[in-house]
Structure 1
Amino acid sequence: MTKVDEFRYLGSTVQSNGDCGREIKKRVQAGWNGWRKTPAVTCDRKVFARTKGKIYKTVLRSAMLYGMETVPLTKKQEAELEVAELKMLRFALGVARMDKIRNYYIRETTHVRRFRDQAREARLG
């Protein structure tokens, strides 16, 4: 028998030390891949912010949440997912970090809840 450090099982990467860092990076990448498929809607200034939020929740967030029900997330990993989420939302609204607009306002404008809350609900639900 050969011992391996990680393997793929049902589409998820399982590591021998129990860490899920690679899976988190894969989920963030899946979100960005979905982002690249929807530039006509997400980057158009004529589309309402609430519509962009709905697109984000149905297409991008679902890609990021896929398979996360069984992954034990640390605070650092939750923060990494939320950073990616807010980058996508800011980019969709045409807002830079230098504009100093609070995350709360970004979430309120797009009607998107925190990723942490959604991930915990998916695990419990």
Structure 2
Amino acid sequence: MSSTEALEPVPRSIAPEQELAILKLILDLRTLGDVDSSKKVRRRVREALLTSSDDSEAMNKVDDIIRHGKRTQSKLDGSYEERQRLKRKRREEDLAAASRLVDIEAGSGEESEGSASTEEDSAE
């Protein structure tokens, strides 16, 4: 091994599916008009491949980059807001259902508690 090989980082490899996902992500970001984000994704992938100690670490870093890039993409194409709206709606429905359940249980609990408190009042 020569001294120049020791100084030069060894680029790691990633899965072909990841390569395809990165290319699609970069093209989609450019199509949506965000050239800066596509350049950032490209730069971050290159850094991940050069700085990772092994292939699995590089794959994990690239997965994170893809995840963050897809979030940016979804914000640009409007699907992020739709997902958030559906999530809020679901949360509100769950809270309403829980509230109804508590009201129903409290209503049935008052009848049994009411008869016990009436007995206590009579005893005093």
- When normalised by structure 1's length, the TM-score is 0.28
Greater share of strand: 1
Structure with greater helix percent: 2
Larger relative contact order (Cα-Cα within 8 Å, sequence gap ≥ 6): 1
Q: TM (normalized to structure 2)?
A: 0.28
